[in-house]
Amino acid sequence: MSENENMEIEQDINHLMQIRREKLEELSNNGKNPFEITKFNRTHTSKDVRDNYSELEGKYVTIAGRIMSKRIMGKASFCAIQDSTGKIQSYVSINDLGEEIYKEFKTYDVGDIIGITGFVFKTKTEEISVHAKEITLLSKSLRPLPEKFHGLKDMDLRYRQRYIDLIVNPEVKDTFIKRSLIISEIRKILDEKGYLEVETPVLNTISGGATARPFITHHNTLDIDMYLRIATELNLKRLIVGGYDKVYEIGRIFRNEGMDIRHNPEFTSIELYSAFEDYEAMMNLAEEMFKRCAKKVCGTTKLTYQGTEIDLGGKWKKITMIDSIKEASGVDFDKIETDEEAVKIAKEKNVEVPKGKETRGHIISLFFDEFVEKILVQPTFIYDYPVEVSPLAKKKKEDPRLTERFEIFIGGREYGNAFSELNDPIDQYERFKEEIKARENGDDEAGMMDEDYISALEIGLPPTGGMGIGIDRLIMLLTDSASIRDVLLFPTMKPLA
């Protein structure tokens, strides 16, 4: 849209806003300021009326909502109002309201919020409607809705003004209803299994529990820098040490990283931990959660995501990271024993190895990122990750270079991460030291030393299975949403200049 067109639209908006303010002033002068109304007793939603027409036909109801359209036809009119459950039509006439109220109704604008009392009927075209006997203006809209001009199609504007997006794009509201149902279903599943929902701090003096760059803030009273949490892991495992068998937390996580269709600086995750279980138990739980959530909001485990058919039903594929790389690239890391051999094969395959990552384990992870992740369309568990990229996971007995860790991949994206949790305080201390060394070498995503967590492990952490799942990505999958911003009510946006 050209600059001149934008200026014309802005001028039109300003003109209509002035007219609406004049209407409000006239109402106020007549003692009818709608902003003074504090309560309105409605008896039904639009969905109630539609779903129960056979019972409500001819009976009086009181509904309320926003005017979305009006048709003035002399002494009778139609308007459509929208509430949280949808739209419903109302028939309005001068014979029912009287001349003064009907005249006032005709001045109402699209966007105004009104209450209507009347009886339920069907029009000649069989549309369920409410025949208005009383109308109350509950709130005056002083700014016209955008579809009066060019529609709210600009995605950036939709994210910035979600309140308008929800009004004019009903499918958006449905996405967030599904979001709530998904989170509710996850809670239901875990509550059924005896998990305790807990809350842990968002502000921490140490950044830990994941590999990510944290946000840093400052506490004035204590005069110390603090970190917004990048994970809930370490505090939740402290609770397992404290004697709870099963805990989980659904909450906001903050990572000071790049933004794209899969990443927002703050997002919602669930982390859960169960004493006396391992990562295989977490696999079974993950499958159940994804399948039940799909059935809850989609009615099926067979989905279409951005044009690709995905089947969450049946038993999910399980394959080690090394075997998946062998299948995708032909490189068998079971036959590569040294760091030098790994660096050599990386050069041959044109896999870039960042400084400080010149180890067999890091290069295995880099090969997976390069050759495997994008081709994992159907649900797949990739398991047995290198110890270098898994600082909180327990080593495998058969090969201590690997850990009992898996990640969930669907449609070429990672959805969850799980371990048999490392409970050896000596081993954990040494891995924290490696994280510190990486941090000193310029890796600002590496973890920090957490002496108190080591103390907790020294008290004793039982064998424990743990898992984290990205709630936003799961919602994207189950609502066929292309971007994480589509499933966040208020995504992070750069301020307008």
Report pLDDT digits (tens) over 118-151.
999 999 999 999 999 999 999 999 999 886 444 5
Average pLDDT of span 242-254 = 98
Same domain, 309 and 451: yes
Determine the 3-state secondary structure of 402 from DSSP: strand
13-63 confidence digits (pLDDT tens): 889 999 999 999 999 999 999 999 999 999 999 999 999 999 999 999 999
Same-domain status, 78 and 187: no
Compute the distance between CA of residue 241 and CA of residue 331 in angstroms, rounded to an integer. 41
**Structural domain includes residue 251:** yes
Residue 436 near residue 418 (C-beta atoms within 8 A): no
Residue range 184-202: mean pLDDT, rounded:
98
Average model confidence (pLDDT) across the chain: 94
pLDDT band at 80 (very low <50, low <70, confident <90, very high): very high
Name the maximum alpha-carbon separation found in the chain: 91
Residue 9, pLDDT score? 64
pLDDT score for 441? 82
319/46 Cα distance (integer angstroms): 50
Backbone angles phi, psi at 336, to 5 degrees: -110, 110
- Do residue 415 and residue 310 come from a single domain? yes
Among 99, 118, 151, give the residue marking a domain's end. Answer: 151
pLDDT tens readout for residues 432-483: 998 888 888 888 778 889 999 999 999 999 999 999 999 999 999 999 999 9
Asked if 269 and 253 touch (Cβ cutoff 8 Å), the reply is yes
Find the radius of gyration of the CA atoms of the chain: 29
Whether the pLDDT of residue 217 is over 90: the answer is yes
Q: What is the dihedral of CA 61, 64, 68, 70, to 10 degrees?
A: 50
Domain stop point among 90, 120, 151: 151
Are 187 and 306 within one domain?
yes
Higher pLDDT, 310 or 497: 310
SS3 call for 85: coil
Q: What is the pLDDT of residues 342-374, one digit of tens each?
A: 999 999 999 999 988 999 999 999 999 999 999
Residue 222 sits in the same domain as residue 301: yes
Residues 264 and 399 in one domain: yes
DSSP 265: S
Give the mean model confidence (pLDDT) for residues 221-231.
96
- 421 SS3 class: strand
- Residue 402, beta-bridge partner list: 386
Rounded mean pLDDT of 147-156? 62
Name the nearest CA neighbour of 86 among 136, 52, 48: 48
* Weakest-pLDDT range from 111-125, 143-157, 183-197, 403-417: 143-157
pLDDT number for residue 175:
97
Burial 332-352 (b: 16+ CB within 10 A, else e): ebeebeeeeebbebbeeeebe
Sign of the Cα pseudo-torsion (35, 36, 39, 40, in order): negative
Beta-sheet pairing, 60-73 with 113-122: antiparallel
Is 326 inside any structural domain? no
Domain hosting residue 37, numbered range? 3-151
For residue 5, the model assigns a pLDDT of 58
**Average pLDDT for residues 380-402, to the nearest whole number?**
95
Residue 179's pLDDT band, with cuts at 50, 70 and 90, is: very high
Spatial distance between the Cα atoms of 487 and 480, rounded to a whole number of angstroms: 10
Q: What are the start-end ranges of the H helices in 279-359?
A: 279-298, 321-329, 339-348
Instruction: Output the domain CATH number for residue 122.
Output: 2.40.50.140
Do residues 94 and 190 share a domain?
Answer: no
Residue 430 · residue 329 · CB < 8 Å: no
**Ramachandran quadrant class, 324 (left: phi over 0; alpha: psi -120 to 50; beta: rest):** alpha
**What pLDDT score does 198 carry?**
98
**C-alpha distances out from residue 156 to 152, 286, 476, 492, 495, Å:** 10, 34, 18, 11, 11
pLDDT for res 26 = 93
Residue given tokens 């803030």 in the structure block = 217
Which of 92, 120, 151 is the C-terminal boundary of a domain?
151
